[in-house]
Structures are given as C-alpha cells and as structure tokens.
Chain A
C-alpha cells in the first residue's frame, strides 16, 4: 500500500520584504510515496534547495504545511526528521577531523550506539583513509563520507541534494548502483541532480520545479510516453526530397539540416514520408532515431513555462 512519507501542501518561502520580496518556493504541493526514488529537477535558483531545507527544518516556511510519515505539527516533524538521512548542498562534515572521527561525532550526536562505523566506511569505500583529514579529501570522497553519515541513522528516507556533484564518472556509477541497492532495500530517496541523464536512470518519479513553482510531477512510465522522438533521414537527391516534403500534407514539424539530411520532429510521420520518398524514387540512405530524454523534456517544459 502506498504511504506518503513526505507531503507538502502549498509550501511557500518568501525572502525579503516589500520591493526586495522574492518568492523562492511558491505554493509547492508535493508527495513522495514510500519506496519512490523521486528525482527533483530544477535549474540553479529554481527553489530545490530551499524546498529541501524547509523539509528538514533548516528554513522556516512562510506558508504551507509539511507532513513527514503522515504526521504534521512541530513536535512530530522534529521527531520524524531523525528518521531521514540528508545531504543538503555541501557535505556537512568537520573538515579538521578524520573520516572515522567525523562519523564518531555524528554517532554521538544521534545517540546510535549500535552504528557500525567500520561497516559504513567500507560501504562507501573509505575504509583506508586512516589519519587523512576530511579537508584533504576530494569532493567525491567528501560526498561519499556524507552519504555514510546520512546512512548512520538507519534512515527510512534519504534526501540527497546533488549527491554526485564533483564525482568522477566511475564514482557516479558507483553511487548510482549504491543508491539503487538502497532503494531496493526499501529506502525512499528524494534526490535533486543537475545530471538529468543520471537521474533518469535512477528515479521512479520526477518533479520539475521552475521559479519556485512545481510545474509537473510524473512517473518514469509517464516520462517514457512523454519522450520527444526525432528521426533524421539522409536522402538522395536532397533537393527533390525537400520539395516533396514541403508539399506533403499531414507532416508535423520537420527541419532541413542540409548535407542531404532532414529531421522529422515526430517519429509517427516517418512511415508516410518514407512511402512518399520510395514512391518518388528518392533513396533513403540513413535513418537515425533519437529519443529525447528527461533533459529534453525538462528544457521543453521549463521553456514553455
């Protein structure tokens, strides 16, 4: 049965007063169900981090309501935040400490005696950092340590703001697989990322935020249906093909790319266009199919808005 682990209703954050007033988050109503890997997408300054900071009690909402694990109210929210592991913006680490000391300080803070620091360090591949200080870690290592810290409370939900930021490709793949593993063990994940192709491979639901407004929420299945599909064909003779397509009825968008190439913006048109070309002795030499992913859809939606 679905259970909303995170639910916001009309969540709003306004900074400044009068003419300096800026609405960072504008009446966002969002639901994250248990088991979701929720991809939170938005450009820089769209309001993602402010939204996550309000969820975690770092910023006070100007208006709206937050429910965590089905409970609202200040005391419940405070209590339930302990069930969430979180990385917001930069990793919250004590730079002058070693990885082990960092995790020990966090263990004392959350009062989780049974937390296995060695196990967590091994899980994120930082077992051999020894006396090296966190300040000397690469950004990727810091991110991994922050993930270990976030996992220490045995979270039911993980909130990750740009978790693969600064990581090398191998690190990104590692984190992706790691998060997939966490999700399959039942942890709900709400993550934002600029690397939309990355998010696309991981998330089961998406939310797009622009100028503080949640424009759209959709599932991975819905994204599949929303994909923009283009087909590029290389034809000969090009000029005759161009003339034919210009007078052909019922073709949606197309672009003449030159060098014998024509781009059909809707793959559904391909069959009819191909038939027309064959009938008129035009050779179709190459067919390239391009499925526009989340990135393309995001740009389309946010530009449209």
Chain B
C-alpha cells in the first residue's frame, strides 16, 4: 500500500495539471475571498444596516466577519470540487485509459489495496483542495483585521465538519471517475451535480418562502409552507454536497453536527464500498 501511495504522490507531484489546478484554486480563492470581504463590508453599511463601523475594531468588524465566512463558503468549494474532479479523475480514469493502471495491478498488490491507495490519494487531494481556500481565507482575514467575533472553537469545528463533507464529495467524484472511466465524463457530471444542487437548494428555499405567504385582502400573511417544499428542503439538507452550505450557516447545534457527521461518514463509506465493488469486479484496460 505504502509503495503505491509513494508512487501516486510522485506522479501527482510531477504532473503539470496538479500545479495548474493548485494555482487556479489559490487565485480563485484570493479573488473570491476579496469579493466576500468587500461585499460584507459595504453591504453591511448600506443594506444590512446598520453597523456603525467607526465604533468597531479592525477592518472587518465583528458582526461582518461571520457574514463574510458564510458568503465565501459555497462557490469556492464548488470550484475546489471541480478541480478535485480533474486531479482525482486521473487516478483511475486517466490511468485506465492510458494503460498505466496496469502497472499498479500487476505489481503484486490485490485490487482492493490498489483501489484503497487511489481512494486515499483522492481524499488527500480533496483535503488539500479544501484547506487551500480555508488557509488563504484565514490569512486574508488575519492580515485585514482579524476574525471578528467568530470564536476559534466554532470556526475550527465548522471547518472540520466542512472538511469531512468535502472529503465525502471527493469520494463521490472518485466513484464517478470509476463508474464512467472518463476524466471528462466525471468532470461533466461533477459540474452538472454542482449546478443541480445549487438549483435544487434555490428552488427549495424560494418554494418554502413563497408557499408560506398567503394574501388576505391584499396583505401578505405568513403561514405554513407547502409540504412539498418542506420535503425538498429536507432532501437538500440530507444530500452530502448541500450539507456544506448548511454547515456554512454556522449552526453547530448538536443535531446539526450529528446530521452532518452522519451524512459525511455514510457518503464516504458508500462511495468507498461502491467504488471498490466496481473496481474489483471490472476488467481493466
């Protein structure tokens, strides 16, 4: 196992795509975090009213910081998921298509060991892809005035949960590359899935709000939302990729934490098991 990991790491290090993906991710994170910071600062002044910045410490005043973190969350991680898909796609689909996978399969290791090593590499790439935005974000916030009122415990707790969920997304991406045997195919499905979850979450949110409003004599009255949209929102909450944006809301109440851990762990396990079964049963090129 260790030999395969060493070899995979060497190949990853020597591959230009890895470094391009890394550079793109850092660049995008810098851009995204800057926009989030500026938006938080100016929106809080004009639209969300009411923070008197002159009476607060730091470039990012306390109430604004948490808003920035939330804003920063989802789209950067979608970009990270896409880049994971490109890099992880090579671990199986790319190698299978070029025939390089044969070297691993004929090196005296069982298929399960080969699969597990590639799965671990995918998780490692996912972790790096997750940590880069987080670290860049922390560095920017640190330089520009601190973390506001976000307690370190809450911040790291929420980051740990997001990391688990992001790993589960990495595992799903790897499963896709095994199922489709195509880097392009798995990338396409990953991008499609990201948009699907965004649309699904937006639909659920809009539906919940709109169906809860009834007009009585021309005046809006808020009641119970429609059951369908409640169910849709619950599905969104339970889907692994959607969990990230739900966790972003900084809700670290025990039920939310348990739900996120369960969803993350179950997704990871299912993706590992499913991928392993396909990998073991299939003929390789």
A residues touching B (Cβ–Cβ < 8 Å)? 53, 56-60, 74-75, 78-84, 86, 88-97, 101, 104-106, 108-111, 149, 153
Which single residue of chain A is at the shortest CB-CB distance from B3?
A111
**Pairs across A and B, CB under 8 Å, 9 listed:** A57-B105, A58-B106, A60-B281, A74-B110, A80-B108, A86-B102, A104-B10, A109-B4, A110-B3
Which residues 85-117 in B have Cβ within 8 Å of A in the complex? 98-111
Q: Contact: B104 with A109, CB < 8 Å?
A: yes
State which of A74, A89, A94, A110 has its C-beta within 8 Å of the C-beta of B107. Answer: A110
- Min CB distance A228 to B, Å, is 38
Q: Contact: A105 with B11, CB < 8 Å?
A: yes
Which single residue of chain B is at the shortest CB-CB distance from A88?
B102
The reply on B6 being an interface residue by CB < 8 A is: yes
Q: Contact: A94 with B100, CB < 8 Å?
A: yes
The reply on B284 being an interface residue by CB < 8 A is: yes
- Min CB distance B189 to A, Å, is 25
Contacts of A95 in B (CB 8 A): 98
| Interface range for B | 20 to 34
Q: Contact: A56 with B11, CB < 8 Å?
A: no
Q: Contact: A78 with B109, CB < 8 Å?
A: yes
Knowing A56-B102, A92-B99, A93-B100, say if A110 contacts B283 (CB, 8 Å): no
- Min CB distance B90 to A, Å, is 10
Contacts of A92 in B (CB 8 A): 98-103
State which of A58, A75, A79, A109 has its C-beta within 8 Å of the C-beta of B285. Answer: A58
Q: Contact: B285 with A106, CB < 8 Å?
A: no
Q: Contact: B98 with A82, CB < 8 Å?
A: no
Knowing A59-B283, A96-B15, say if A110 contacts B108 (CB, 8 Å): yes
For the complex, what is the distance from the CA of A53 to the CA of B102, rounded to whole Å? Answer: 9
Contacts of A96 in B (CB 8 A): 14-16
- Min CB distance A200 to B, Å, is 28
The reply on B144 being an interface residue by CB < 8 A is: no
Which residues 257-285 in B have Cβ within 8 Å of A in the complex? 281, 283-285
Knowing A108-B6, A110-B107, A111-B3, say if A94 contacts B102 (CB, 8 Å): no
Which single residue of chain A is at the shortest CB-CB distance from B102?
A92
- Min CB distance A29 to B, Å, is 21
For the complex, what is the distance from the CA of A89 to the CA of B284, rounded to whole Å? Answer: 13
Which single residue of chain A is at the shortest CB-CB distance from B117?
A109
The reply on B7 being an interface residue by CB < 8 A is: yes
Contacts of B14 in A (CB 8 A): 94, 96-97, 101, 105
Contacts of B10 in A (CB 8 A): 101, 104-105, 108
Contacts of A75 in B (CB 8 A): 110
Knowing A59-B283, A60-B283, say if A109 contacts B103 (CB, 8 Å): yes
For the complex, what is the distance from the CA of A92 to the CA of B15, rounded to whole Å? Answer: 16
State which of B4, B103, B109 has its C-beta within 8 Å of the C-beta of A149. Answer: B103
For the complex, what is the distance from the CA of A92 to the CA of B284, rounded to whole Å? Answer: 13
